[in-house]
Structures are given as C-alpha cells and as structure tokens.
Amino acid sequence: MTAALTIDGLNVRFRLRDATVHAVTDLSLTLHRGELLAVVGESGCGKSVLAHAVLDLLPANAATTGTVQFGAGSRPVRELRGRHIGLIPQSPATALTPVRTGRSLLAETLRVHGRATTDADTVAAEAGLDPADLDRYPFQLSGGMAQRLATALAIAPDPAVLLADEPTAGLDRPLVDHTLDLLRRRCAAGTAVMLITHDLTAAQRVADTVAVMYASRIVEHRPADEFFTAPHHPYAAALLDSLPDRAFQPIPGHPPMLTDLPAGCAFAPRCPHASPDCAAQPAISDGAACHHPLSVVGAP
C-alpha cells in the first residue's frame, strides 16, 4: 500500500486573548492510495481544524507543529492544493463567491487545472447536480445544491487526496448514496479519501478505516468493519449507543473545554470505566488509546 498522506505528530493551537485552544493534539495517521478513512467524533473535537491544517489553510492565530507529507514528495502543500489535494468544505453555502454562477466557478477551476471547460456538465452530473443548476448564483441554490456544487468544484481537478468535510449534510438519502458512491469510485481509481462525517450510517457503508476523535486526539483508529462490530474506546462505544436507532441518550456530562484539558484521558469525567490509571494520558495500542479498552478479555 502506498501512502498518499502521512501526518506525523500534528499539533494545532489557537491563541486567544486569554486562553489557548488545543484543537489537534499529537495526531499521527497514514492515509493510503485507494483508502477511504472516515473521521468521526464529537462536534468541536477538531475534525475541521485537522482538514484545514493538512491544507495549510488555518487562520493567523493558529500555531502548528508536526509534519504533513503527500505521497513521497516534499513539495509544500501550497503548490499541491486543488490539483493534488482537494477539499469539500463544511457548510459550503456561505463559502461560495456570491457574485458568480456555479458554471463560472467550475469553468475556472477546470481551466486552471488544464481541463476543458466543456467538462463542467459532466463534473456537475457526477456530483449529483443537475447541469442546468450551474447557471444559478449561490443565493439561488438550496443548501443541498450548494453542497453538490462544492463537491463538483473539489473533484474537478481530479485530486490524489480528497478531504470531504460533511459532504452529505442535509442531502436526502438518494443524494447521500450518490455522493458516497462517487467517493467510493474515486477510491477505486486510486484517490485517498478522508471523509469527515457525523453520519455513522454513511461511514459504515463506505469506509475502509475509521478514526474517532475526542478532545483534539484520535482515540481509536481501526478497520471499519471491526470498529462497527466492537468499538474498543468507551467514548466510541457511547457515541454509537447515542444513535436514534439505539438508546438515543446523550453521553452524560459535558463536552471538554479545549482551553483547559486534563493531563490524563480527557474522557475520564464522563467515562464509566475510569480508574486512577486514567490520570495519565493513554498511548494508542491495538487501535485504541485507553487504559481499559472494551471487548478485551477481562474488561466489562
């Protein structure tokens, strides 16, 4: 397997007037060609910041350490954005240039990347957008149409690595499936896809691997089928249990404050398995960062 994206020891801190936000901590992962990795986790845990850090698109108050490498090369991400690595941003409706039609945005993207502007209709259709809707201005697009336009813009240059941040949010089931099939087809052609999503059903359907984030860290990273059958990390298990077709109960307690994280496991205040050991940061082993992983002999 060839690595398409290697992240090693990534940390992202935001400096605020009176606090520091720990948005990504000690994060390492490798994404291979043809792999679809689903990144899931609590709202606010650092998923979008991770995507922006990989693309070097963070705001000025961010400080980043660690390395991000694409393929075997060492070219800076600035030169690779678009052509080699694409982003479908979260909530694209507000990110689109308001004074230009979808067609004009898409044609420019195609031109810049050496493709015929006449491909616009084909690319739109691949993203599930009716080519006729390309002639609308962003304010005339429904949320779901804006979403599919953003997808079309990201896939137009045919990038080797695709970061998709909630690309199916607000779409109806047939369009969700259309988008998931598109991502899968890209993988079959060798693209490496990082799918950030709250839709665990979608993740289960298409992902090869799953990374669960909690409070800025990856707490579990395993093959998707194994993960969905038996999660090891108590947070991951609690997340799956809170689905509306399961208990539909929120995880007790409060989300952690990323400005004031404990030295040990950040899930401890909400964890039914916490013990004094958990005051020390657990290292990741067998795909989970936990002192008392579930589904292991002897554990509850």
Ligand X SMILES: Nc1ncnc2c1ncn2[C@@H]1O[C@H](COP(=O)(O)OP(=O)(O)OP(=O)(O)O)[C@@H](O)[C@H]1O
Find all residues with CB under 8 Å of 246, minimum gap 6, and list them. 240
Looking at the Cβ atoms of 253 and 272, the one nearer to ligand X is: 253
Q: Which two tokens stand for residue 104?
A: 């004009």
The least CB distance from residue 257 to ligand SF4, in Å, is 17
Residue 14 touches ligand X, criterion: CB under 6 A:
yes
Q: 110 with 79: CB under 8 angstroms?
A: no
Q: Which does 240 bind (CB under 5 to 8 A by kind): ligand SF4, Mg ion, another protein, none?
A: another protein
Residue 171 touches another protein, criterion: CB under 8 A:
yes
The least CB distance from residue 27 to Mg ion, in Å, is 15
Residue 250 touches ligand X, criterion: CB under 6 A:
no
Q: Tell me which stretch binds ligand X (CB under 6 A): 16-24, 98-106, 110-118, 232-240.
A: 16-24
Backbone phi and psi for residue 188, each to the nearest 5 degrees, phi listed first: -60, -30
Q: Which two tokens stand for residue 183?
A: 């991502």
Contact with ligand SF4 (CB under 6 A) among 234, 236, 239, 256: 234
Residue 59 touches ligand X, criterion: CB under 6 A:
yes
Residue 254 touches another protein, criterion: CB under 8 A:
yes
Q: Tell me which stretch binds ligand X (CB under 6 A): 43-51, 105-113, 218-226, 236-244.
A: 43-51
SS (H, E, C) 151-163: HHHHHCCCCCEEE
Backbone phi and psi for residue 256, each to the nearest 5 degrees, phi listed first: -70, 155
Alpha-carbon distance of 199 to 65, in angstroms, equals 30
Backbone phi and psi for residue 238, each to the nearest 5 degrees, phi listed first: -65, -35
Residue 90 touches ligand X, criterion: CB under 6 A:
yes
Alpha-carbon distance of 233 to 148, in angstroms, equals 34
Alpha-carbon distance of 211 to 231, in angstroms, equals 11
Residue 260 touches another protein, criterion: CB under 8 A:
yes
Q: Which two tokens stand for residue 141?
A: 């697009």
Query: How many angstroms separate the most distant Cα atoms in the chain?
Result: 63
Element (H, E) at 111: helix 102-112
Looking at the Cβ atoms of 132 and 189, the one nearer to another protein is: 132
| 3-class DSSP state of 132 | helix
The least CB distance from residue 165 to Mg ion, in Å, is 6
Alpha-carbon distance of 252 to 293, in angstroms, equals 19
Residue 48 touches Mg ion, criterion: CB under 5 A:
yes
The least CB distance from residue 299 to another protein, in Å, is 22
For 4-38, b where at least 16 C-beta lie within 10 A, e where not — what string?
bbbbeebbbbbeeeeeebbbbbbbebbbbbbbbbb
Residue 168 touches Mg ion, criterion: CB under 5 A:
no
Looking at the Cβ atoms of 187 and 213, the one nearer to another protein is: 213
Looking at the Cβ atoms of 4 and 237, the one nearer to ligand SF4 is: 237
Residues that bind ligand X (CB under 6 A): 14, 16, 21, 23, 43-49, 59, 61, 90, 258
Residues that bind Mg ion (CB under 5 A): 48, 90
Residues that bind another protein (CB under 8 A): 14, 16, 19, 21, 40-44, 48, 59, 90-91, 93-94, 140, 142-145, 166, 169-176, 198, 200, 238-240, 242-245, 247-251, 254-260
Residues that bind ligand SF4 (CB under 6 A): 233-234, 265, 267-268, 271, 273-274, 278, 282, 290-292
